């Protein structure tokens, strides 16, 4: 019964989706309960640090979903998704900056600290209105959406594909990084935006706010997953995958492939922007290093290690790689880049289907081995 409703179709009709949905809901219930209700001396208690950490992973997972949507379903390897993520984050950061009000170091009610420091006398026009939550919410989607629309429109219209497109997306995020590093660009330069106090009047350091943000992240991830699944299961989704597999053929059948690509690309950017907006209040800082090309490539590797084109694989990959990163950067930071580099090579060469495809891959390999054994035996028999 539930299986056939819309929600069932989106979230429950295969094993991966069911596990993901279950885990998301379980996390959203258990983690806040363990953090808020269970006393801190109990071994079931979850520290606020862990709540924030897992909340961060949830945002990364949503980001990985958006990467998988364009890479796994549309066949575009975007090396610039960090730009959409960071733009969403900056929109949220600007709102949080304005919420500081006169509690900053310089106590200026209008201007954020870094502007006072730079001797600016008034708020730049693009900061106007960011003290309003609805406008911020709009900008979280508009900023990455417009960038993706303009960029995608230019790129897809001229049929830039494959490696060329990847490089251009990388150049895009690189250019933005350079620009945001500039002090006079008006986004805090090198230091970015930080030192946030409250969101919607709730103290950001309070456990309740942290847990609320955590639940919001889990909900956003589930919502993002449902949206991606909805697209993937629709007729549009079939066309998307057709473009991935044989773009010219789709074009010759009379479809405007560039419109479909543009639509998917923009949706993906919106999801990435949302992930960024949820990420910033939890980690408490946004700076231009989020635009760095290596960050964007890391996102791709989350998807690759989880398994591209499955959506739940992307979520799994984001959790696995980031958990590994947390462990290794604490344990032996210099080893982490070796491991990350090794993952890049190993996954692309040996695990083209990622973790979720590992079982099937191993099974086919063994069965192929046995069948090739048979073949060999057969051929020797013939001799």
Partner 1 sequence: MRNFALLLILCGSLFSAGLSWSNDIEIKPDTISETIFHDAINGLSSKSFTKKKEYIQAIATSKDSQALVILQQLLDGNIYFLKKTKTIVIAKLDNKNAVIRNAISGTDLGIIAKKRIKKVGINNKLRRQLKVEIAKLSLDSPNKAVRQQAAEEILKDINKSGLQLFTGRLTIEKDDSIVEIMQTGIALYSFKNGSVDEQLSAVKTLSNSLYPEVKNTLSNGLRSITGNPLSTEKQELKHTLEASIEKIDFKLGWYKQLENIFFGVSLGSVLLLAAVGLAITFGVMGVINMAHGEMLMLGAYTTYIIQQIMPNAIAYSPLIAIPIAFVFTALVGVIIERSIIRHLYGRPLETLLATFGISLILQQAVRTIISPQNRAVATPEWMSGSLQINPALALTYNRLYIILFSIAVLIGLMLLLQKTRFGLQVRAVTQNRTMAKAMGIRTDWIDAYTFGLGSGIAGMAGVALSQLTNVGPNLGQAYIIDSFMVVVFGGVGNLWGTFFGAMTLGIANKYLEPMTGAVIAKVVILVFIILFIQKRPRGMFALKGRSAEN
Interface residues with partner 1 (CB under 8 A) are: 77, 151, 154-155, 157-160, 162-164, 166-168, 170-172, 174-175, 178-179, 181-182, 293-294, 297, 300-301, 304, 334, 337-338, 340-345, 347-349, 352
Q: To the nearest whole angstrom, how small is the minimum distance from the Cβ of residue 99 to partner 1?
A: 30
Q: To the nearest whole angstrom, how small is the minimum distance from the Cβ of residue 96 to partner 1?
A: 26
CB-based contact 268:69 (threshold 8 Å):
yes
Residue 220 or 356 with smaller CB distance to partner 1: 356
Residue 159 or 374 with smaller CB distance to partner 1: 159
Q: To the nearest whole angstrom, how small is the minimum distance from the Cβ of residue 376 to partner 1?
A: 23
Residue 139 or 297 with smaller CB distance to partner 1: 297
Q: To the nearest whole angstrom, how small is the minimum distance from the Cβ of residue 347 to partner 1?
A: 8
Residue 31 or 70 with smaller CB distance to partner 1: 70
Residue 199 or 343 with smaller CB distance to partner 1: 343
Q: To the nearest whole angstrom, how small is the minimum distance from the Cβ of residue 379 to partner 1?
A: 26
Backbone φ, ψ for residue 199 (5° rounding): -125, 125
Q: To the nearest whole angstrom, how small is the minimum distance from the Cβ of residue 62 to partner 1?
A: 21
Residue 179 or 206 with smaller CB distance to partner 1: 179
Residue 163 or 330 with smaller CB distance to partner 1: 163
With CA atoms as reference, report the closest residue to 14 among 231, 233, 238: 233
Q: To the nearest whole angstrom, how small is the minimum distance from the Cβ of residue 259 to partner 1?
A: 17
């Amino acid at each position: 019964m539930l299986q056939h409703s819309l929600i069932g179709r989106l979230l429950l009709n295969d094993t991966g989706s069911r596990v993901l949905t279950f885990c998301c809901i379980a996390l959203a219930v258990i983690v806040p309960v363990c953090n808020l209700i269970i006393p801190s001396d109990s071994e079931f208690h979850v520290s606020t640090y862990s709540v924030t950490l897992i909340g961060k992973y949830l945002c990364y997972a949503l980001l990985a979903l958006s990467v998988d949507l364009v890479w796994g379903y549309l066949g575009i390897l975007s090396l610039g998704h960090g730009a959409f993520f960071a733009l969403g984050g900056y929109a949220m950061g600007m709102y949080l900056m304005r919420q500081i009000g006169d509690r900053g170091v310089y106590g200026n009610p209008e201007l954020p600290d870094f502007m006072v420091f730079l001797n600016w006398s008034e708020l730049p026009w693009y900061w106007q209105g960011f003290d309003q939550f609805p406008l911020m919410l709009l900008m979280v989607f508009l900023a990455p959406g417009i960038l993706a629309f303009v960029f995608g429109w230019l790129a897809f219209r001229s049929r830039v594909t494959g490696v060329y497109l990847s490089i251009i997306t990388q150049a895009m995020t690189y250019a933005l990084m350079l620009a945001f590093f500039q002090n006079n660009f008006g986004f805090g330069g090198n230091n970015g935006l930080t030192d946030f106090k409250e969101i919607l009047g709730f103290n950001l350091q309070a456990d309740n706010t942290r847990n609320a943000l955590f639940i919001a992240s889990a909900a956003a991830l589930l919502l993002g997953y449902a949206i991606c699944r909805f697209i993937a299961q629709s007729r549009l989704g079939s066309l998307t995958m057709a473009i991935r597999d044989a773009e010219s053929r789709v074009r010759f059948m009379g479809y405007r492939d560039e419109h479909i690509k543009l639509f998917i690309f923009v949706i993906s950017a919106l999801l990435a922007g949302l992930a960024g907006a949820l990420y910033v209040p939890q980690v408490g800082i946004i700076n231009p290093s989020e635009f760095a090309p290596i960050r964007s490539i890391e996102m791709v590797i989350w998807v690759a290690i989880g398994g591209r084109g499955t959506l739940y694989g992307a979520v799994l990959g984001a959790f696995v790689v980031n958990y590994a990163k947390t462990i290794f950067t604490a344990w032996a930071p210099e080893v982490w880049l070796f491991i990350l580099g090794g993952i890049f090579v190993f996954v692309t060469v040996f695990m083209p289907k990622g973790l979720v495809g590992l079982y099937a891959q191993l099974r086919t390999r063994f069965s192929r081995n046995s069948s090739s054994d048979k073949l060999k035996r057969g051929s020797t028999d013939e001799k």
